[in-house]
């Protein structure tokens, strides 16, 4: 086990005293890395900067963070304005309608 993982395990044990729910969760260095990247994304940090911070060779590797963030998708959808018009039912012109009725 790496020193980072050992320190994190100790921090989880200490945090469990005030937050007992943490004990049932899996917390790893990757969890901290992923959560930090998501918080950076939600705070408006550019995906390229996050990719560099994570050590990814390109922002393409970091694209999963964009797909995983449902709260950002919800906020984007909330910004959409509802359409004020009602959908009208299609009414074909008289000539094609007469033709169809004559069949």
In a domain, 28, yes or no: yes
- pLDDT value of residue 43: 87
30: containing domain: 3-77
Does pLDDT of 1 surpass 70? Answer: no
Distance CA 25, CA 8 (A): 13
Distance CA 66, CA 61 (A): 11
- pLDDT value of residue 13: 92
Q: Decide if 15 contacts 22 (C-beta within 8 A).
A: yes
Model pLDDT for residues 2-42, shown as the tens digit of each residue: 688 899 899 999 999 999 988 888 888 888 888 888 888 88
In a domain, 25, yes or no: yes
Model pLDDT for residues 52-103, shown as the tens digit of each residue: 888 888 777 787 777 777 777 787 778 777 777 677 777 777 888 788 888 8
The C-alpha angle with vertex 32 and arms to 30 and 33, in degrees rounded to 5, equals 60
In a domain, 82, yes or no: no
- pLDDT value of residue 64: 75
In a domain, 92, yes or no: no
Burial of 91 (0-12, 13-18, 19+ CB in 10 A): exposed
In a domain, 53, yes or no: yes
Q: How many domains does the chain have?
A: 1
């Amino acid at each position: 086990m790496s020193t980072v993982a050992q320190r994190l395990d100790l921090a989880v044990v200490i945090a469990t005293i005030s937050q007992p729910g943490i004990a049932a969760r899996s917390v790893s260095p990757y969890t901290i890395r992923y959560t930090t990247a998501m918080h950076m994304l939600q705070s408006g940090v550019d995906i390229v900067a996050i990719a560099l911070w994570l050590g990814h060779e390109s922002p393409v590797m970091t694209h999963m963070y964009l797909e995983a963030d449902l709260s950002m998708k919800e906020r984007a959808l909330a910004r959409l304005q509802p359409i004020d018009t009602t959908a009208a039912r299609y009414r074909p012109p008289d000539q094609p309608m007469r033709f169809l009725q004559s069949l």
